[in-house]
Amino acid sequence: MGDELMELSHEETMSREAAAARLRDLADQLARHNQVEVVREGLRYSVRVPNEVTLKMEVEVGEDNEIEIEISW
């Protein structure tokens, strides 16, 4: 794929419990494997993840609340 940038973006409304389950699945993949798999529109994407990553977390509290988590390497 070279230096090409591929970006997948997805947003949906779900219950708090469903969001927690989605985060747990991602956390389990990070803990157990050297890759994360994402399925979108029937296509499976695999992203290789090294042993060390940078974790950034932002919390915004105000009229609209937001927690943003970013993992990069």
Q: Model confidence over 41-68: pLDDT tens digits?
A: 889 999 999 999 999 999 999 999 999 9
**Predicted local distance difference test score (pLDDT) of residue 57:** 97
Q: Is the pTM of this model over 0.85?
A: no
- Asked, for residue 46, whether it belongs to a domain, the answer is yes
Domain limits for position 50: 16-72
- Asked, for residue 56, whether it belongs to a domain, the answer is yes
Q: Please state whether beta strands 43-48 and 35-40 pair in parallel, antiparallel, or not at all (unpaired).
A: antiparallel
Please identify which residue in the block is written with the tokens 């050297």.
34
Specify the number of domains making up the chain.
1
The encoded tokens of residue 5 equal 């940038």
Whether 3 has a pLDDT exceeding 70, the answer reads no
- Asked, for residue 9, whether it belongs to a domain, the answer is no
**Predicted local distance difference test score (pLDDT) of residue 6:** 78
- Asked, for residue 61, whether it belongs to a domain, the answer is yes
Q: Where are the beta strands (DSSP E) in 1-73?
A: 35-40, 43-48, 54-60, 66-72
In DSSP terms, which residues pair with 54 in a beta bridge?
72
**Predicted local distance difference test score (pLDDT) of residue 48:** 94
